[in-house]
Chains A and B, each alone.
Chain A
Amino acid sequence: MDTILRIDVGAAGGPKATPTPVGDYAGLGGRGLTSAIVATEVPADAHPLGPENKLVIAPGLLSGTAASMSGRISVGCKSPLTGGIKEANAGGQAGQLLARLGYAAIVLEGARQGDDLYVVRISKDGVTITADPSVRRATNYQLMDKFLGEYDKTGAMIAIGTAGEMGYGNSTVSITDMEGRPTRHAGRGGVGAVMGSKGIKAILIDAKGAKSRKPADPEAFKAASKAWVEGLEKHPVTGEGLPAYGTNVLTNVINEAGGLPTRNFATGQFEGASKISGETQAELEVARGGSATHGCHRGCIIQCSGTFVNKDGRYVTKQPEYETVWAHGANCGIDDLDVIAELDRLDDDYGLDTIEMGATIAVAMEAGVAKFGDGQAAIELVREVGKGTPLGRILGSGTATTARVYGIEHAPCVKGQAMPAYDPRAVKGIGVTYATSPMGADHTAGYAVATNILKVGGDVDPLKAEGQAELSKNLQIATAAVDATGMCLFIAFAVLDQPDTFQALVDLLNAYYGWNLDAAGVAAYGSKILAFERDFNQRAGFTSADDRLPRYFKREPLAPHNVTFDVSDAELDSVFG
């Protein structure tokens, strides 16, 4: 992983790929590398879809090694949705394979010439880039049908659907899973539109002949790897809860806590929660011949995913995650898992972020475009987005834009990005993270959510304001560090709970790179990433006034606990002050 593959899309005669040494970026991976490159090389005042922006795709520091759970990939750029720096993170096969081929990152850069769309092919023999008129307006599953034969066994595809091609603020970069399906997405912030702006439709990776990466100290790496797997397997969440029910196991619990945003964040409990819960979903999947336990890439031992099939046992989509079930379910008043699965499939196919799309539909429902609870209407709205009708283009521009167009105050967004599945009034710690994360409202930016709902770090009452800043800061630092390793964030459950498992992760990094990192070093690493990101945002014009939740969260109490978001501005400013 000592090469950065730079693809200049403005080169004479068509896009040109040049392998370059990692140079000053050595030692960075995943989010660390994407944020460093964007902060260093993209002018902060660049237009996100202009020639000065870059799209950086980077596997993590441990991706492509034999370490379990290390297949995550980061996609970074200046975000078309927020106007700030963005790192969106995905599972799937591509991270492992790119790393094995020796690439620390792919950077798409330069000014696109003409409007041809290109397909990039990467293998151990080199890189080819060809214009392909047949991919225009292809959806992700259509791309799969076209290219699966090429990347099937030993490869993966990174692609954009129609949303990215049309330049939507809501557009993903899709990554194929173990079956070659485009079900994993670098979802947040409109990264797909930046790939589209560079005229690159798909990147096909063929890792035939590429070997697992070799550690500096193989014996120590083997021992750390063993301790790592044992730690994950013995933990009740990573060992049992997630494999059995997936992330949607949270629906019942967050609903019970009164923190499940319902009907565009109007209340904190959804009467139909048990119909769409992870428990019900798993039961249904298994009864229909699908599966409730599946990994998104080889080497995942937690396997929080699954396969959702219809009544006839035919594949519809991967098991919808908690965020998706919430966004298209409770938040839109929809209590039908088949409808939610259909929406998930459409989102994946067009390349739409399920959180942003669900939040947008809920705003449209509040505006009277459709009725809350009307699943068929929600499906039609997403189809409009995929087709690019005028209404579809408004909805595809994201939740904040849709609210502006319809004159709705209730836009649950920070820095232009929609909040995920935890109401910040009930779970104030995550409200602090929503407000202050450089990414905009982001649930993966810091695990304050669990801290609050489940009372971890007991001196933080989920319904009280004090003490949340410090907690949020530490969690954002830890999360940034994990995002750099390529490890799935779900390892956080075991790492934070079991000191020996945390140590095993540090040992993996040290054994692989010959480093001497300790806990303080990990924290410093995370802090460095956040510093890059905050610096970029500052230069892009963000101030402390952007580190706020919309005012109505302070004013309108949330049932059933009737709480408002009462963390003071001073405390929000103290997170990074």
Chain B
Amino acid sequence: MGEAPTVRVTLSRPAFKALLQRGIGIPDGTGTSVREFLQRTLGIDPAYVEEQLQTVFLDGHPVDDFDRARVRPGAVLALSGAMPGLAGATMRRGGYYARMREGITHAGAHGTDGSAEEGVVIVKLFNRTLADLAETLAKRPLLVPGDALDGPGTEAEVDGWVLVAVTLA
């Protein structure tokens, strides 16, 4: 992704949430663990990461261990709260069924060796995280798909993405 000017866009909350469900690009933060990415790059409160992000997918694979799973360029990270089903039960760290996950890890299986690399990470927000984190994400520069913007954005498109500063209407 080359240099691109930041385009100012004003979006309604529903329009921004629709974008967040589809996925927005974060232009930095690759090569870190999922936890570092969530806390440092995205600026999500560590307590929220720990308590509310109960369902997280990295490239479509459910993540168990935020510290071991690493974020590579081009990765897609999807964040969700507790979901219907047996779900939340053992997903919740420290919960009653946590012991059923002991010794099992999916971390490291999907990711990189941890060396810093440049690239874009696609982040998707679902359900409660949409309500909780939309404002946080709106505070930082984001890449949005060019086809999601009408008008001025399209000229600033690089590789299908437009770097935007979002104002929520």
Taking Cβ atoms with an 8 Å cutoff, the residues of A that contact B are 235-237, 240-242, 244-245, 247, 249-250, 252-253, 256-258, 269, 274, 277-280, 283, 287, 447-451, 453-459, 461-462, 475, 490, 492-493, 496-499, 560-561
Contacts and interface: CB of A to CB of B under 8 A. Distances in A.
Interface residues of B, number: 39
A72 B81 CA distance: 27
Contact of B88 (A278, A283, A454, A560): A454
B147 to A, nearest CB: 12
23 contacts: A237-B87, A237-B88, A247-B84, A250-B84, A252-B21, A252-B78, A253-B80, A253-B126, A269-B60, A274-B18, A283-B17, A450-B83, A453-B85, A454-B85, A456-B85, A456-B90, A457-B90, A458-B64, A461-B106, A493-B86, A493-B89, A496-B89, A499-B96
Interface string B67-96: 000000000001011111111111110011
B89 A497 contact: yes
B39 interface: no
Given A274-B22, A453-B62, A457-B97, A447 B86 contact: yes
Nearest to A459: B104
Contacts of B80: 252-253, 256
Contact of B64 (A240, A242, A250, A455): A455
Contacts of A455: 62, 64, 90-91, 101, 106
A459 B100 contact: yes
A127 B91 CA distance: 51
Interface of B: 14, 17-18, 21-22, 54-55, 57, 60-62, 64, 78, 80-92, 95-97, 100-102, 104, 106, 124, 126-128, 130
A525 B124 CA distance: 43
Contacts of A461: 104, 106
Given A249-B127, A497-B96, A241 B90 contact: no
B80 to A, nearest CB: 5
Contact of A241 (B60, B124, B128): B128
Contact of B85 (A252, A280, A462, A493): A493
Given A455-B90, A456-B97, A244 B128 contact: yes
B57 A257 contact: yes
B97 A240 contact: no
Given A252-B127, A274-B21, A456 B78 contact: no
Given A249-B127, A256-B60, A498-B96, A458 B86 contact: no
A56 to B, nearest CB: 28
A496 B86 CA distance: 7
B87 A493 contact: yes
B78 to A, nearest CB: 5
B131 to A, nearest CB: 8
A561 B58 CA distance: 12
A454 B60 contact: no
A256 B85 contact: no
A253 B102 CA distance: 24
Nearest to B57: A256
Contacts of B102: 458
The 9 closest A-B pairs by CB, nearest first: A450-B85, A458-B101, A454-B87, A274-B21, A450-B87, A497-B89, A236-B82, A456-B90, A456-B86
B98 to A, nearest CB: 8
B104 A451 contact: no
B47 to A, nearest CB: 15
Contacts of B130: 279
Contacts, number: 150
A150 to B, nearest CB: 36
Contact of B60 (A236, A258, A493): A258
Contact of B91 (A280, A447, A456, A498): A456
Given A235-B88, A249-B127, A274-B18, A454 B100 contact: no
A279 B85 CA distance: 18
Interface centre among A279, A448, A493 (most CB of B within 10 A): A279
A250 B83 CA distance: 7
Contacts of A279: 17, 21, 126-127, 130
Contacts of B17: 279, 283
Contacts of A499: 96
Contacts of A280: 18, 21
Contact of A240 (B21, B104, B106, B128): B128
Given A252-B126, A256-B60, A454-B55, A497 B84 contact: no
A242 B101 CA distance: 25
Contacts of B89: 456, 493, 496-497
Given A249-B127, A497-B95, A492 B14 contact: no
B146 to A, nearest CB: 16
Interface centre among A256, A280, A448 (most CB of B within 10 A): A256
B85 to A, nearest CB: 2
Contacts of A237: 82-84, 87-88
A263 B31 CA distance: 36
B57 A497 contact: no
B127 A450 contact: no
A257 B86 contact: no
A253 B88 contact: no
A65 B73 CA distance: 56
A427 B127 CA distance: 21
